[in-house]
Structure 1
Amino acid sequence: MAMKRQKQKETQVEVIDRKTLLRGVTAALASGHGVGEQISTAAACLGGITGFERFAVLLLNEGDKKLLFTHGAGFKKSASRALKGWTVSLSDEDNLLARVAATGTCEYREDTGTDPPAGTPGNGAFFTAGAAAVLPLSIKGKTVGVLAAGRPAPGPIPEQSRALLQSVSSRISLTIENTLLQKSLSTEAQKLRNARQHIVQAEKFSALGLLIASVAHEINNPLTGIMGYAEALRKMSGAPESQTMVDKILKEADRAKRITRSMLGFARKTNFKKSPVDLEDLLDKTLDALSAEISKNRISVRKYLSSDCVALADADQLLQVFFNVLNNAIQALAEQKQDGVIRIETTREGSLAVVRIRDNGPGIGEESIKNIFLPFFTTKKAGTGTGLGLPIASNIIESHGGRIRAESAAQGGTTFHIQLPAVAGKSARHSSVGVSCSDQGLNILIVDDEAAIRESLRDILTLQGNRVDTAGTGTDALTLLRRGSYDIIICDMKLPDLQSESIYKQMQDMGDTIKKTIFISGDTSSQEAHDFLRTTGAHYLTKPFHPKDLHRKIRDITAPPKKTSNHFAA
């Protein structure tokens, strides 16, 4: 009886010691901040108690269907080096580790000398003679790896040792789960930071776009006056010196016009009018526009153009893309001493129409080429570029469903690759038909709140032989329209008292007056202006415009009516 009580007491003490030991090991493992620290702790704590002094963690790579060695403890340096490339294929059903990963159950070997695990390169360094245990590492019932433990002495593995090993595997599983959760949280947090940064950047660009549009609109008004007065001067003075000066004024005004239109192109999302466009024809037109700069800088242009390369695009917008890219190439070549060469190639590649524009200039640095499509980034000297040409080109191409990229060789030279959706066949070619029309001897009304624009247009049209009245407000204009008849009305879209929609509605009640009206605006790319012009089909010109564009528009209106017409064209 006494012996029985003593045995019960020893059993109770053993249970208490086991619980105490489990709590101690668990606490020690909990103090570790990662899997590596935890298995080092396990080796230190369990080595003297259970004899298991070597530990290895292999995690599952689902893509390769392999177990990969990630952490180890209790090895000599030579063995540690051998374990670094240790992998176990899950298809190896005879392998102890692969089987535990597949079944999710613990397996024990009392003597690896007589019952060795199937061989893999890392096994020799880990499973030396002795006992071994392999336990699954699981997260929410899903096996993510295995914990392998080795003991130098063969023999039975007591329940207490097994319980301690399972405690280690559970703790490591929890650490792995926490690590994955932290990575996931970190990834999501980075996504949120990126999204927040994107929103802030978008708000900045939105505000910047409004500012740019406002500034460009205000500049376009005086530019229209400057171009008008310059053309009037040309007609009034026949002296060659005066003509040369007028040409210079108009040239610089055209330059300012391109800058403001670039600014508006960046600030506004333009709705494109797409049709089949012959890229060969469009590139030739661009080269014609740049011919003076090409000749001045002694640049050779080599063309390899395919006659069947037709893209679905807005011709005017695509012309701006080619102009911006080619102008960049010309400016780069103008700065070097060697002879400049621009190579232009078009080709059809599957469903894409591809344009490559290559120059032999100094090239673009590795860091700079990453930023060339960012607004206001420029590698040019101060005063020679706005930093908007390539961003606008990129916006236009992307809005067409295409792609533009640049590459620069280490030895120099830059190539722009432009891809656009291709269409079959040739683009439509329009022939001019002679018609009887005139821009002389007309009664014309000019409506604009800018005195410089009213007066410059009045002078030009009067010199042309027309009778011109002017009005500074919409109210004054409507009064003049009710009193008399006009052949042409030139009306600003943004007047201080009446907007274009209001004037349009009142003109509709005046017979065919609206058909003879040309609306003018410094920002026809705004959504409001675009919707108005698209809905009404009204004639329009975008400020600043050259007087010859106005004359052409007047002749179009006074020409005999055609069977079909589409006024929505600049």
Structure 2
Amino acid sequence: MVMSSKILLIEDEARLRQNLQLLLTSEGYTVITASNGYEGIQRLQQEQFDLVITDIMMEEGNGFEVMEYLSTHAPDTLTIVITGYASTDSAIEALRKGAYDYLAKPFDIDMMKISIERALEKVQLRRQVQTYMQELEQRVADRTRELEEMNKKLNASLADLQAAQEQLIQSEKLSALGELISGVAHELNNPLTSVLGYAELLSHSEACPPEARTMLEKISQEAMRCHQIVKNLLSFARKQKPEKKYIDMNALCRKTLDLLAYQLRVNNITVVTQLAEGLPKTMADQHQLQQVLVNLLTNAYQAMADYRGEGKLTVATAYDEDKIYIRVTDNGPGIPPQSLRRIFDPFYTTKEKGTGLGLSLSYGIVQEHGGEIGVVSQLGQGTTFTVALPIIAEPVPEQEAPSRSTPTSLPAQKILVVDDEETILDLVTDILHTLGHQVETASSGREALQKMDSQQYDLIICDIKMPEVDGRQIYQFLKDKHPSLLNRLIFSSGDTASEESQEFLKETGCLFLQKPYLLEEFTQVLHQACLRTEEEVQQP
């Protein structure tokens, strides 16, 4: 027996209604009565019941009307019908309308109890199933949320992996590009050394007419410009650290705009500057950052000129407690989203004649300065590149100790020059002869070893990178057999002191000439080597 169930009893015969109420109440049920179908429907509108027991034939609202109401408004409530007009047709009609059971008057009380118990058991079972289904649905919903969250995390992890893969690919590209640039720069620095050296030698010659001297100065300036480009490339390839000093970024922006003034003017570009007052200085390589600005400004005005034949270019600076910001904004065509993802990749370009190196070089330079470069763009509206650089406070300068005076001339020295480039040997020989020194040359490391083993030299000028026997092997040879010459060994190289070379020079303490070098730099290193020799002689 299902206890504590609530039953609605609808019966128009008062005595039968009262007797059934007493009987069912004694069985532990809560029984509410109604004297006709309409009153029963009113009860159903006010309360919920587990079971409805209704007579069929009643003057005001019959049992069929009650069942129709239940089928619409309380379909889960079971119905047992009772009637004194038993017939097969009425039984079929009652069952068709959804009755759980049909009892004919006079009915057996025990049979009625059994029918009620089974009906209520069915109600209870149905509710248990509903509860289970609700719990199951909730579990499914919870699990679905968990799977959705997991899917989001997996998608995020996949995105991170893809980003890491793209970064690794870009890093590998940069590494390969760096090796290529390093080799090219090394080859360029050797002829640049000859161009600069001979231009200076000729310009210092008494026989050089003034007009030729002017042209030679232009040759030197352009050669130094090429050298600076090579240095920028090497810095991007991480073969050389930038030459940093404290600079004014506002002044650098103005200088760069002046440099590009002609190109901006002929392409109908209106320039707007919004340079922050009181912008702090920071430590940076002026030439490298100017190259970044040139790349950004050039890309901007070219994009606007191609897009609409004119444009507005805005250069702005700003700062906060930690960083300086330089923003270059154009109103050009904008950059497609698929291109934005690769905009800093080496060799990636959307221009027909572009190399794809400008922005990747700029990215490397800004990274080398501990900064960041970013871009936002909207198609048809324009593009903004932002360079963020850390503010590095300028230290209070310390009072410099008086330096030893550099002698204006050197006593004649016997010098061995070692280099696998014939033009470098000829240039250094001419310079040293001009300075009054005796010179011997060796075009390979092996030849140099033979000469050092058979003759004595005051100074040795030696290239680091050479085939077969290089500068490191020559150093080891001198360390083993002629250690007194180590302090008089000057190394030179066209790869501008790669990290490997820098470590080698740091370990050995040898003097270094970076190709290409000016005559003044060359003579200063010679003086330093001679000072080392003098200190050796003066030591007891």
Cα–Cα, structure 1 residues 181 and 273, in superposed 2: closer, same or farther, change >3 Å? same
Matched, 1:545 2:505: no
Does the CA-based 8 Å contact 1:324-1:390 persist in structure 2? no
C-alpha distance after superposition, 1:402-458 (max 9, x if no partner): 334467899889674432143364456869958232466643332111112212222
> Are 2:434 and 1:452 aligned?
no
Aligned to 1:319: 286
Question: Aligned pair in 2 of structure 1 residues 157, 397: CA closer, same or farther (>3 Å)?
Answer: farther
User: 2:441 is paired with a residue of what secondary structure?
Assistant: strand
Q: Is the 8 A contact 1:403 1:420 kept in 2?
A: no
CA distance in 2, matches of 1:186, 1:113: 52
Does the Cα contact within 8 Å between 1:225 and 1:452 map onto a contact in 2?
yes
Letter in 2 for 1:485: Y
Bigger Cα displacement from structure 2, 440-449 vs 196-205 = 196-205
How many Å apart are 1:395 and its aligned residue? 3.3
Tell me, what secondary structure is at the counterpart of 2:472?
helix
Write the distance in 2 (CA, Å) between the matches of 1:530 and 1:447: 20
Match of 1:423, SS state, is coil
2:246 maps to which residue?
278
Cα 1:391/1:424, change in 2 over 3 Å: same
Residue in 1 aligned with 2:183? 214
The equivalent of 1:16 in structure 2 is none
Is the contact between residue 252 and residue 290 of structure 2 (CA under 8 Å) also seen in structure 1?
A: no
- From the CA coordinates, give the structure whose radius of gyration is larger: 2
Q: Assess, with a 3 A threshold, how the Cα gap between structure 1 residues 249 and 400 changes in structure 2: closer, same or farther.
A: closer
Give 1:163's match in structure 2, choosing from 129, 133, 136: 129
Q: Secondary structure at the match of 1:446?
A: strand
- The more displaced of 235-244 and 460-469 is 235-244
Aligned partner of 1:472 in structure 2 is 443
Unmatched 5+ stretches in structure 1:
1-110, 116-127, 133-154, 564-570
Q: Deviations over 1:471-504 (max 9, x none)?
A: 12223324444512324x3211112233333322
Cα separation, 2, equivalents of 1:266 and 1:158: 79
CA RMSD in angstroms comes to 5.1
Gap change, CA 1:546 and 1:173, over 3 Å in 2:
farther
CA contact (8 A) 1:278 1:309 kept: no
Question: Would you say 1:261 and 2:231 are equivalent positions?
Answer: yes
Q: Determine the C-alpha separation between the residues in 1 that align with 2:226 and 2:522.
A: 19
Superposition deviation, residue 532 in structure 1 = 0.9
Number of equivalenced pairs: 409
Give 1:514's aligned residue: 486
Equivalent residue, structure 2, for 1:97: none
Provide the C-alpha distance between the structure 1 equivalents of 2:443 and 2:450, rounded to a whole number of angstroms. 12
Change (3 A) 1:356 1:267: closer
* Residues 239, 497 of structure 2: 8 Å contact kept: yes
Match in the other structure for 2:434: 463
Question: What SS is found at the alignment partner of 1:259?
Answer: helix
Q: What letter is aligned with 1:551?
A: T
1:369 deviates by: 7.0
CA 1:454/1:269 → structure 2, altered by over 3 Å: closer, same or farther?
closer
User: Which residue of structure 2 lines up, in the alignment, with residue 93 of structure 1?
Assistant: none
Equivalent residue number for residue 393 of structure 2:
423
Q: Distance in 2 between matches of 1:262 and 1:541?
A: 18
Secondary structure, counterpart of 2:393 in structure 1: coil
Amino acid at match of 1:246: L
- CA distance, structure 1, for counterparts of residue 502 and residue 489 of structure 2: 17
Q: TM-score, normalised by structure 1?
A: 0.55
Residue equivalent to 1:403: 372
Residues 131 and 441 of structure 1: CA distance in aligned 2, closer, same or farther (over 3 Å):
farther
Q: Measured at CA, do residues 421 and 534 of structure 1 come closer, stay the same or move farther in structure 2, by a change above 3 Å?
A: farther
Q: Which residue of structure 2 lines up, in the alignment, with residue 504 of structure 1?
A: 475
Change in 2 beyond 3 A, CA 1:322/1:195: closer
SS of alignment partner, residue 326 of structure 2 = strand
CA deviations on 1:196-236 (whole Å, 9 max, x unpaired) are 44444433433333233223323333333333344344445
Give the letter for the 1:238 counterpart: C
Contact 2:199-2:216 within 8 A present in 1 as well: yes
1:517 is displaced (CA, Å) by 2.8
SS in 2 for 1:554: helix
Looking at structure 2, the residues matched to 223 and 378 of structure 1 have their Cα atoms a distance apart, in angstroms, of: 30
- 2-side partners of 1:418 and 1:203: how far apart? 25
Q: CA deviation at 1:529?
A: 1.2
> Which residue type is aligned with residue 294 of structure 2?
N
Q: Which residue of 2 aligns with 1:38?
A: none
Asked whether the equivalents of residues 329 and 342 of structure 1 are also in contact (C-alpha less than 8 Å), the reply is no
Whole-angstrom CA distance in 2 between matches of 1:172 and 1:244: 89
Distance 1:260 1:512, change over 3 A: same
Distance 2:254 2:401 in 1: 22
Structure 2: 5+ residue runs without aligned partners?
A: 1-43, 49-71, 77-119, 266-270, 536-540
Counterpart of 1:532 (choices 488, 492, 504) is 504
Q: Which amino acid aligns with 2:405?
A: V
In the aligned structure 2, how far is the partner of 1:326 from the partner of 1:426? 29
Is contact 2:236–2:361 with CA below 8 Å preserved after alignment? yes
Q: Separation in 1 of the partners of 2:412 and 2:254?
A: 37
Which structure features the higher share of helix residues? 2
Percent identity over the alignment? 28
> Quick one: distance in 2 between partners of 1:485 and 1:192?
60
Please tell me the residue identity of whatever aligns with 2:463: D
Q: Contact 1:363–1:414 at 8 Å: present in 2 too?
A: no
Q: Deviations over 1:495-518 (max 9, x none)?
A: 223333332233346455333333
SS of 2:458 mapped into structure 1 = coil
**Contact between 1:446 and 1:490, CA under 8 Å: does it hold in 2?**
yes
Counterpart of 2:501, as a letter, is A
| Equivalent-residue separation in structure 2 for 1:306 and 1:253 (angstroms) | 36
